[in-house]
Each structure stands twice: as C-alpha cells, then as structure tokens.
Amino acid sequence: MLILVLIVLGYLIGSIPSALIVGKIGYGVDIREHGSGNLGGTNTFRTLGKKAGIIVLTADILKGVLAAALPYLSGAGYEYALVAGIPAVLGHCYPVFAGFRGGKAVATSAGVLLFITPIGVLTAVVVFLMTLYLSKWVSLSSILAAVWVHTFEIIWGGKLMSFVTFALVLFIIYAHRQNIERILNGSERKVTWI
C-alpha cells in the first residue's frame, strides 16, 4: 500500500506545473501559448526572462528532489527513492494539473538523481555548461548531460541505476526529438547569453 501511495504522490508532485504557475501569477501569461509551448525552464527563460526561468528551473529540480526523498521521509527507506522519483518525472512531462502537457524531463530528472547520485549530477552540470558554451544549444547540452550521468552510473554505480539512467536518456532523447531534427537541419535556436 505504501508503494502505491509513494507512486501517486511522486506523480502528483511532478505534475505541479511550475512554469504555468509562475507565468500566470507573476506575468499574467499562459506560457503554453508562447515559444515552444513547453512547461519547462528553457521556454520560461526564453519567454519570460532570466528571473522567471531561474524560479521555474529551481522549482522543477526541487520537485524531483522532494519526490525522491519521500520514501526516506516516510520511513520506507532510501532504496525506494526511485519508486516516487520516476513517477515525478512522468508527472512533469504529463502533468494531470495541466492537461498532460508539460516539460521535457531534464530538470525534474536532475532533481531525482541529485538526491540519489549527487556527484553524478554535479559533474553532469559541468558537461551541460561546457556543451552549452561550445554549441549554444540547450537541447544538445541536456542530452549530453543525461548521457554523462548514465556513463557515470555504468562506471561507479550499480546495475539498477545504470538501467534507470539509460531509460532516462532514451526518454530525454525522445522528448527532444524535434530539437534533434532542428539541430540536424540547422534551425535549432541558440542561446545568446553564454
């Protein structure tokens, strides 16, 4: 019964549409009607600016951290972190509170993994920033950071985390499939602030 509760709570936490809330309350804007239409940090940065983007990015990461911490806080144990963490990622991408149209899994996945493998995530941030500096593409930087976390878990983690991070890499690539097409045809937007 506790496992089911953790799954549902994880999903509901992930479903909190940070970008939609910040856009509507702070700016009177439905971010789904602007930019890429995604409820994620990148679209928030581009549509509403740096302050809103940082708030949304932080909130989306914290959703993942909180969901992954739920089993520990409930007494189920640290080893059950993924039971609530994975549903949180799905909730972020397919939020029940926003018509099942959300973000692309990167920030909330980072939050879940930050609780479980902090060194892997912190080193992935370095990969993300280096790739962003060289390419100016957030999408490519996100994908390569996810690939790095998977590589990190293959080398220093266990079989379960290697499997989970591999699944996350596939999911993140799938979520960014249109970005990949635009990178290949040269139409993907680049950031200008780095």
Mean pLDDT of the chain: 93
Domain final residue, candidates 76, 105, 134: 105
Contacts of 58 (CB under 8 A, 6+ apart): none
Domain final residue, candidates 59, 75, 105: 105
Residue 133 lies in a domain: yes
Examine the domain organization and report whether 100 and 138 are in the same domain. Answer: no
Residue 124 lies in a domain: yes
Examine the domain organization and report whether 85 and 122 are in the same domain. Answer: no
Tally of CA atoms within 13 A in the half-sphere of 166 that contains its CB:
8
Q: Cα dihedral sign for 157, 160, 166, 172? A: negative
Q: Which residue is it, tokens 């549509």?
A: 47
Does residue 26 have a pLDDT over 90?
yes
* CA–CA dist 110, 121 (Å, integer): 7
Domain that holds residue 134: 117-194
Residue 75: the pLDDT is 80
Q: Cα dihedral sign for 49, 50, 51, 54? A: positive
Counting the structural domains of the chain, the total is 2
Residue-wise pLDDT for 32-78, tens only, equals 999 888 999 999 999 999 999 999 999 999 999 999 999 988 887 77
Domain final residue, candidates 67, 84, 105: 105
Contacts of 54 (CB under 8 A, 6+ apart): none
Residue-wise pLDDT for 69-127, tens only, equals 999 888 877 778 999 999 999 999 999 999 999 999 999 999 999 999 999 999 999 99
The pTM (predicted TM-score) of the whole model is 0.92
